Amino acid sequence: MGSKLFACKFSALVGLLAVALAPVARAAMPFGNYDLRVEGRYDFHSWVWAITACPDGGCVHVNAIARPVAKAFPYVGDARLVDGRFVLTVDVPDGLRCDDTYYGPTVPTHDVYTWDAATLAGELRSSFDSGCHGAPAGSYTYPFTLSRM
């Protein structure tokens, strides 16, 4: 009787430890088309992200499509999972718009998007070597959301 009770308690303890020490599941990014909404960025475009699998399977491929397509540079890149968040880094030739958003000058930016695949919320950090009209280098940070279409 004592050995059966010990075996039962031991099994319960092993089961409890297995659940407690199980690895945390990371949210997978579902493939599909997403509406990208960047709050506060000076831009007259809205964007669609077409998200597909990477050939090596270790990331998701992002193809950004502007709406409207006029005066916009589409960008592509691979987003990798880093510390539970997807990270996409792209260089955009017209990322910072100066003066009039449609006809004004533009400045190239280095954009880093990070987001959570479960909430589809994230942050865009857009940095530039020189600002509008020769202003100093800098960066802006914007919140963004993705909505599956």
User: For the segment 70-87, what is each residue's pLDDT rounded down to a tens digit?
Assistant: 778 889 999 999 999 999
Domain holding 69, by residue range, is 32-148
Q: Shortest CA distance to 110 belongs to which of 86, 94, 132, 122? A: 94
Q: How far is CA 21 from CA 13, 14, 26, 60, 84, in A?
A: 12, 10, 15, 28, 18
22 assigned to some structural domain:
no
Are residues 113 and 79 in contact, defined by beta-carbon separation less than 8 angstroms? yes
CATH code, 87: 2.40.128
On whether residue 49 sits in a domain, the answer given is yes
User: Taking the model in full, what pTM does it have?
Assistant: 0.79
Number of domains into which the chain is organized: 1
Say if 113 falls within a structural domain: yes
**Residue among 83, 79, 85 nearest 121 (CA):** 85
136, part of any domain? yes
Give a yes or no: residue 14 inside a domain: no
Give pLDDT tens digits for 53-71.
998 888 999 999 998 877 7
Classify residue 2: in a domain, yes or no: no
Residue 41 resides in a domain: yes
With 0-12 / 13-18 / 19 or more C-beta atoms within 10 angstroms meaning exposed / middle / buried, residue 96 is buried
- pLDDT (tens, 9 = 90+) of the chain, 149 residues, equals 555 655 545 454 444 444 344 343 446 888 999 999 999 887 777 899 999 999 888 899 999 999 887 778 889 999 999 999 999 999 999 889 888 767 788 899 999 999 999 999 999 999 999 999 999 999 999 999 999 99
Strand, helix or coil at 28? coil
Assigned domain for 138 exists: yes
Which of 52, 6, 16, 19 is CA-nearest to residue 33? 52
